[in-house]
Amino acid sequence: MNPERWQRIDELFLAALEYEAEERAAFLDDACGDDDSLRREVESLIASHEQANTFIERPAFEAAAEGLCRSVQKEIATQLTTRR
């Protein structure tokens, strides 16, 4: 994708989010005209935005530390049982 195209998608995506869901279609009709692929691209980003919620909102490190703690916990549990 060329940089101008991407910039346009980015701008329209952010602008569309400023509209209420029911007004969005009219905005996109106007902004995209008959460029269907542009519209599909923007709409799919909006759909993804609506599903994303807390996706990547917590730093990776926190999630990783929890995983590490779980594996250490298991290890300690194994050590304790084998010692008995």
Partner 1 sequence: MTTASSSSQEVTQLLIDWSRGDQAALEGLMTLVYEELRRLAKRLMRRERPGHTLQTTALINKAYQRLIEQQRVRWKSRAHFFAIAAQLMRRILVEYARTRSRAKRGGGALRVSLNDATLSSQEQSLDLIVLDDALQRLAPLDPRKSRVVELRFFGGLSIEEVAGELNVTPMTVVRDWKTAKAWLHREIIHES
Q: How many other C-beta atoms are found inside a 10 Å radius of the C-beta of residue 24?
A: 17
Q: State the nearest-atom distance from the C-beta of 38 to partner 1, in Å.
A: 15
Q: Which among 27, 30, 11 is positioned nearest to 19, based on CA atoms? A: 27
Q: State the nearest-atom distance from the C-beta of 78 to partner 1, in Å.
A: 13
Q: State the nearest-atom distance from the C-beta of 34 to partner 1, in Å.
A: 24
Report the distance separating Cα 50 and Cα 44, nearest Å: 10
Binding window for partner 1 (CB under 8 A); candidates: 22-30, 31-39, 45-53:
45-53
Q: How many other C-beta atoms are found inside a 10 Å radius of the C-beta of residue 42?
A: 25
Size of the site for partner 1 (CB under 8 A): 37
Binding window for partner 1 (CB under 8 A); candidates: 22-30, 32-40, 59-67:
59-67
Q: Which helix (H) or strand (E) holds 3?
A: helix 3-17
Residues that bind partner 1 (CB under 8 A): 1, 6, 10, 13-14, 17, 44-49, 51-56, 58-73, 75-77
